[in-house]
Amino acid sequence: MQSKSWLKAGLFAAIATAAFAATPARAQGSLVMYCGVQEEWCRAMSTAFEKETGIKVAMTRKSAGEIYAQLKAESSNPRGDIWWGGTGDPHLQAAEEGLTTEYESPANKDLNDWALNQWKAANKRTIGIYAGALGFGYNTEQIKAKGIPEPKCWADLLNAKLKDDVQVADPNSSGTAYNLLATVVQLMGEEKGFDYLKALHKNVSQYTKSGAAPAKAASLGETAVGIVFIHDAVVFAVQGDPIKPVAPCEGTGYEIGSMSIVKGARNLDNAKKFYDWALTPAAQALGAPAKSYQVPSNKNAPVPAQAPKMSEMKLINYDFVKYGSSAERNRLLAKWDKEVKALP
């Protein structure tokens, strides 16, 4: 008798344990994530969140301008829940156009002011998750072979010996390249900024879709110079490739990588869970092991040792509100298409 009841109790405990263990994966539903950073970091985030919550994540990596365009195209029937990562300008534009929704996370109290400023500017519809400065990376061997001085400034990229040897992304698809467009306009003034981009066009071999692609091309010697976020060039420098990251001497712009919840998200509660989790120090610490060296927005998150020191750079006072506004972003992109990309 005694042994039978022991067996029954044991069986019950085993079934209960199995049921409990199975609960998170079964009952927590799903989340559709549009991810704007490098694939490796996107995967690290979605896997860690799934593991922690049992919520199944369907993740797609795209460039920031593409995600914005997708949200706009899907606005009458939203498919995405959370847009995580990518430069802040298109997040701000989406906020202004009502493509994303308000949220206030309990984690806000732990964030740097620059992250909260995005949130305030967007009426709570987007928030800063990391920061990084714009610059370029050059292939040291290629520059040496050309016999030209090592480029240190934006002006150096106009050297005729760099003809067809500079790569940068297309600002329509890429948040990085829009950041460049807005940076030169703010740094040089609109007329001189466009003159600069037209002159640079002579040296550009191709406008890539993704913003970070030119860093890889420069690290492989497929191009002499790649205009990218500096941390994207650091990725290849730290692994020993012949690429040198540069913070341009005239000064440069920077991004506030952002996160927004899609308006009309089908999995709104899960989007909020992801949002809160993504602002924690533990989640923000997942960037560095995935070779992403931005500065995290949570004050308590570790800053990767490899992160470029923004405090030592000459940074412009980037006007995120203006250059993230719908009218200004649309205007500058149309002007760039007409006056720069259309050039032979």
Closest approach of ligand PLP to the CB of residue 158, in Å: 22
**What span, in angstroms and rounded, lies between the C-alpha atoms of 150 and 139?**
10
Residue 232 interacting with ligand PLP (CB under 6 A)? yes
Q: Which is nearer to ligand PLP, 143 or 278 (CB)?
A: 278
Closest approach of ligand PLP to the CB of residue 76, in Å: 25
Choose which of 294, 298, 320, 332 interacts with ligand PLP (CB under 6 A).
294
Closest approach of ligand PLP to the CB of residue 147, in Å: 32
Contact pattern for ligand PLP over residues 70 through 109, marking x by CB under 6 A:
---------------xxx----------------------
**What span, in angstroms and rounded, lies between the C-alpha atoms of 82 and 91?**
11
Choose which of 33, 162, 168, 169 interacts with ligand PLP (CB under 6 A).
169
Q: Which is nearer to ligand PLP, 87 or 219 (CB)?
A: 87
Residue 245 interacting with ligand PLP (CB under 6 A)? no
Contact region with ligand PLP (CB under 6 A), list: 2-10, 169-177, 188-196, 268-276: 169-177
Closest approach of ligand PLP to the CB of residue 271, in Å: 20
Residue 212 interacting with ligand PLP (CB under 6 A)? yes
**What span, in angstroms and rounded, lies between the C-alpha atoms of 55 and 71?**
22
Residue 63 interacting with ligand PLP (CB under 6 A)? yes
Q: Please list, in sequence order, all residues whose beta carbon lies within 8 angstroms of the beta carbon of residue 33, skipping any fewer than 6 positions away.
A: 42, 45, 46, 57, 58, 59, 60, 80, 81, 82, 83, 84, 274
**What span, in angstroms and rounded, lies between the C-alpha atoms of 240 and 29?**
42
What are the angstrom distances between the C-alpha of 248 and each of 121, 156, 171, 302?
28, 9, 19, 26
Closest approach of ligand PLP to the CB of residue 184, in Å: 16
Q: Which is nearer to ligand PLP, 87 or 100 (CB)?
A: 87
Residue 255 interacting with ligand PLP (CB under 6 A)? yes
Contact region with ligand PLP (CB under 6 A), list: 91-99, 153-161, 168-176, 199-207: 168-176
- Helical ranges in 78-157 per DSSP H: 88-96, 113-121, 140-146
For residue 212, the Cα-to-chain-centroid distance in whole angstroms is: 10
Q: Which is nearer to ligand PLP, 101 or 173 (CB)?
A: 173
Closest-approach residue to ligand PLP (CB): 211
Closest C-alpha to 78, from 70, 90, 86, 66: 70
Choose which of 139, 174, 186, 223 interacts with ligand PLP (CB under 6 A).
174
Please, are residues 219 and 236 in contact by the beta-carbon 8 Å criterion?
yes
Q: Which is nearer to ligand PLP, 269 or 337 (CB)?
A: 337
Please, are residues 174 and 86 in contact by the beta-carbon 8 Å criterion?
no
- Helical ranges in 206-299 per DSSP H: 213-219, 230-238, 268-278, 281-284
Residue 211 interacting with ligand PLP (CB under 6 A)? yes
Choose which of 33, 35, 37, 181 interacts with ligand PLP (CB under 6 A).
37
Which residue pairs from 239-244 have beta carbons closer than 8 angstroms and sit at least 24 positions apart in sequence? Answer: 242/139, 242/140, 242/141, 243/137, 243/138, 243/139, 243/140, 243/215, 243/218, 243/219, 244/137, 244/138, 244/140, 244/150
Residue 129 interacting with ligand PLP (CB under 6 A)? no
**What span, in angstroms and rounded, lies between the C-alpha atoms of 188 and 36?**
28
Q: Point out which residues bind ligand PLP (CB under 6 A).
A: 36-38, 63-64, 85-87, 132, 169, 174-176, 210-212, 229, 231-232, 255, 257, 292, 294
